[in-house]
Chains A and B, each alone.
Chain A
Amino acid sequence: MQPVPCSSLSEAPRTMKIGLFIPCFINELFPHVAMATLELLESLGCEVEFPLQQSCCGQPLANNGDSKGACDAARRFTGVFQQYDYVVAPSGSCVSHVTHHYDWYIAEDPAYQQLKPKVYEIIEFLQDVLKLEKLPKPVYFPHKVSIHQSCHGLRELHHASPSELMIPYQSRLENILKLVDGVDVLLPERRDECCGFGGTFCVDEPELSTAMGEDRIAQHEATGAEYIVGADPSCLMHMGGIIRHQGKQIRPLHIVEILTGRGAGA
């Protein structure tokens, strides 16, 4: 089956429009991940717009107890994105804040309730909405990758079956990597332990956060992988900081960079 172009999915007789949600730190520090996301969606036939008025979704504010700030950020997000048919972002954590925690702040807002089911993390969007069965252009990535399952993507968005729950195993990242040629997918010991980033936790408790990161990297390295591949740039940033500091060989890589075929050069 060919990938279904976005325009054929909308039941309404108009073109379906995607609002690209690029979390603040990705915008500043990982523009290549954002660009890969945009290009991937466009090459699948989607009409994508990046609304310039967006800013932080408010997760750091919420996580530190600033409910007024979190509430204002949630309203702003809703205002900026409500006109789109879908909202897509390359970060499980930020998406899960919008879809799982805005209810703490603006549950009564009908515009938010309408928007909520339309907000997707990129891999979910590719799998659940576009029903992607083939990449837009074939990708050959002959490398060993160790999957980093970020916590919010895992336990709030159910990207994979968390190891604590006694439910059948499935993994979105593993499934989508099956579309890539040559890739060798590995799982680290303690399949889904936290890397220690945790938003501002990483600076509130730097020693602990770094110790968690070091352990996690060691588990990924032990698989023999060349890359740590995940769907959350924040965890990859934290582990990347340690990797660079220690001059390690293994490299963090966002999964969309592989799916667009950019990964090999990374």
Chain B
Amino acid sequence: MKDDSVKHPQAAAEFLKDRAQAKWHDSAIWWVRQKRDAQAKQLPEWEELRRLAREIKAHTLSQLDDYLAQFEANAQKNGVTVHWAADADEHNRIVHGILAARQVKKLVKSKSMLTEECGLNPYLEQRGIEVVDTDLGERIVQLRHEAPSHIVMPAIHLKKEQISELFHKELGTEAGNNDPTYLTHAARANLREHFLTADAGLTGVNFAIAETGGVVVCTNEGNADLGTSLPPIHIASMGLEKIIPKLEHLGVFTRLLARSAIGSPVTTYTSHFHQARPGGEMHIVIVDNGRSDILGNEDFYQSLRCIRCGACMNTCPVYRRSSGFSYSYIIPGPIGSTLGPSRDMKKHGSMAFACSTCGSCSNVCPVKINLHEQLVLHRKKAFDQNLLPTGKKMGLLAMRFLTQHPALFDLGGKVMRKVVPIIPESLTRHSAWSRAGRDLPPMPAQSFKEQYQQRSQNKKDKQDKKDKEEQQ
């Protein structure tokens, strides 16, 4: 689970202490952004696809109740049991209920940020059920007892040496063997055991199709397929915003998803689940957990269009240099920074300020969410709820006052220009501007306003002189 007491500026500064590691993190993720660019460039209709995706999602959200009802009816027709969970706790109780009633001892899981959001793993483990995350990245962070640091690449914060060490300890691989192929094979062999001995499989959902009542899961490792075909029970957990109206809309999203996420044309597997395998059971749990509140909010409802591709974090210069763990909410980066404060401003307020408002996220987003603007709107909420640090709030109130009193504003500027050059460096060194390694700009003797006034005066004097001469 993630630590929601994390404050972004401190956590980022901590991460940056190891500048070499931070640089590596930045370039590893930038490489994915470049792969995304290369793929997007190959589709002349890219911007058109984004527009379509945005519109399909916007339309669906505007009639979400109807589409959810249609989805439920069609899924039931297929023999699937549909459950509704108002919050995280209810989701966990439902999943546990299904598993407990069938004496499940081991659950294999694949592709679900939602279960992270709900804290499902510890909930089930406390109740005696073994939970095994089966996607490689998820498995790695599970073995490290960490939360994912990225929604698509959960272990991107780790180097292969660290993974080798972990696998040596947990899976008994050869010490010091850092070969990624070797390590992947070791993980796969270990996971195979779990697949064969699990009693149930749980997956996330990328898209739920109202027209057919089926769900679609996009993966690269095929673990969702193993986890749903080997054990007899399949539980699919989905946020209620995952609905799309028709099968024919799916192509728009599958074309955007993998390209935006990892820069490949499609995911290796795009699996459609419409009913349980013969003799098995299929359950779908539809989770609200705060989503209806966001849907009702004029400023933030757009964030529910998100298809969780992670492109916004890959492009985000702040995320790349501070890593997922510097954000308090389970989802980091630009989308997390709007979802987190939407959930709980007190806990996740620092995320809304972890942004230089460069706007790259909004441009990269395949469903065109106005992410950087949403962050500024969250700051407005934080200010109104009095959640800004006192010093900052005082500064802003002073600025607010000065903005309305230009003469005082000018005086303040003048004092600054005169005083800064004579303060000893030992005093300025610790200021927020200077402490990380920036000198103050040189202070000009005159402001532009002073120069302008003097220039106007000189012009006037010249003119007056000329006029006088002409009169004489």
List A residues at the B interface (Cβ < 8 Å): 22, 24, 26-32, 34-35, 38, 50, 52-56, 58, 60-69, 72-73, 76, 151-152, 154-156, 162-167, 190, 192-194, 196-215, 237-238, 240-242, 244-246
Contacts and interface: CB of A to CB of B under 8 A. Distances in A.
Given A29-B441, A245-B438, A151 B448 contact: no
A67 B380 contact: yes
Contacts of A237: 441
Contacts, number: 218
Interface string B193-217: 0000000000000000000000000
Nearest to A190: B30
A65 B379 contact: yes
A99 to B, nearest CB: 14
Contacts of A240: 441
Given A31-B448, A162-B363, A208 B433 contact: no
Which 6 pairs show the lowest CB-CB distances between chains A and B?
A: A198-B356, A65-B383, A241-B438, A69-B400, A65-B379, A194-B358
Contact of A151 (B26, B356, B405, B450): B356
Given A50-B452, A155-B359, A69 B437 contact: no
B440 interface: yes
B6 interface: no
A200 B383 CA distance: 14
A206 B399 contact: no
Contacts of B23: 215
A115 to B, nearest CB: 18
Contacts of B382: 65
A32 B436 CA distance: 27
Contacts of A209: 356, 436
Interface of B: 8-9, 12-13, 16, 19, 22-23, 26, 30, 37, 40-41, 43-44, 46-47, 315, 317-318, 321-322, 353-360, 362-364, 376, 378-384, 388, 392, 396-397, 399-400, 402-406, 409, 413, 416-417, 432-441, 443-444, 446-453
A208 to B, nearest CB: 4
Interface of A: prevailing SS: helix
A211 B43 contact: no
Nearest to A165: B363
Given A28-B417, A208-B322, A240-B441, A35 B451 contact: yes
Given A60-B399, A207-B12, 20 more contacts: A50-B448, A50-B452, A52-B449, A54-B406, A61-B403, A67-B383, A67-B384, A69-B397, A72-B403, A154-B359, A155-B362, A166-B41, A166-B43, A204-B432, A205-B318, A207-B16, A209-B356, A215-B26, A241-B441, A246-B437
A56 B19 contact: no
Contacts of A72: 400, 403-404
A202 B433 contact: yes
Given A53-B406, A69-B400, A208 B9 contact: yes
B9 A198 contact: no
A245 B436 CA distance: 10
Contacts of A66: 383, 396-397, 400
25 contacts: A61-B396, A64-B388, A65-B378, A65-B382, A65-B388, A68-B400, A69-B397, A73-B404, A152-B359, A166-B40, A166-B44, A194-B317, A194-B356, A197-B356, A198-B357, A199-B356, A204-B353, A206-B436, A207-B436, A209-B356, A211-B16, A211-B321, A212-B356, A213-B438, A245-B437
A205 B409 contact: no
A192 B44 CA distance: 22
Given A66-B383, A166-B41, A211 B400 contact: no
Contact of A245 (B47, B315, B388, B439): B439
A72 B416 CA distance: 24
Q: Which of B392, B397, B399, B446 has the most CB of A within 10 A?
A: B399
A232 to B, nearest CB: 12
A31 B441 contact: no
Contact of A241 (B16, B356, B357, B433): B433
A237 B37 CA distance: 30
Contacts of B363: 155, 162, 164-165
Contacts of A212: 317-318, 321, 356
A29 B443 contact: yes
Contact of A208 (B40, B318, B400): B318
A201 B353 CA distance: 7
A61 B321 contact: no
Nearest to B381: A65
Contacts of B404: 55, 72-73, 76
Nearest to B435: A206
A31 B447 contact: yes
Given A55-B406, A155-B362, A64 B439 contact: no
A213 B438 CA distance: 10
A155 B360 contact: yes
Given A155-B358, A190-B30, A27 B447 contact: yes
A205 to B, nearest CB: 5
A28 B225 CA distance: 64
Given A64-B383, A163-B37, A211 B388 contact: no
A244 B439 contact: yes
B396 A69 contact: yes
B403 A62 contact: no
A206 B322 CA distance: 12
Q: Which of B356, B359, B406, B413 has the most CB of A within 10 A?
A: B356
B425 to A, nearest CB: 11
B358 to A, nearest CB: 4
A237 B438 CA distance: 10
